[in-house]
Amino acid sequence: MDFGTLPFAAVDWSKVPRTEHEGDPGVAQWRTVEAGALRLRRVDYSPGYSANHWCRRGHVLFVIQGELTTELEDGRTFTLKAGMSYHVANDAEAHRSRTEGGASLFIVD
């Protein structure tokens, strides 16, 4: 992750438009800000959401609210609660997430 010459900026996430991304089942609502080479996202997963793909992109993910289970392609699983985070490099370990009760996240990639 390279911050380069990224200038200071404050973000009012309530004013960033949402986009919907279907899960299998459920939906993820993303609010996305592109900042130089970084993508910043506030993501809300609906109750019962399950990702419909393996992700190979690197992230720093922080759980704001709810509980999230992340599965790695090798079968390991990690349950994160509010206040917890994970980080993974690009192409390091494919992962996908699910939640029973819904979750709100902040992700930098």
Question: Which is more confidently placed, 48 or 6?
Answer: 48
Q: What is the 3-state secondary structure (H, E, C) of 29-81?
A: EEEEEEECCEEEEEEEECCCCECCCCECCCEEEEEEEEEEEEEECCCCEEEEE
Assigned token pair, 76: 């390991």
- Rounded CA separation 55/57 (Å): 6
Judge whether 57 and 38 are in contact, CB under 8 Å: no
Residue 98 has what pLDDT? 98
Domains of the chain: 20-108 (2.60.120.10)
Residue 1 has what pLDDT? 63
Query: Whole-model pTM above 0.85?
Result: yes
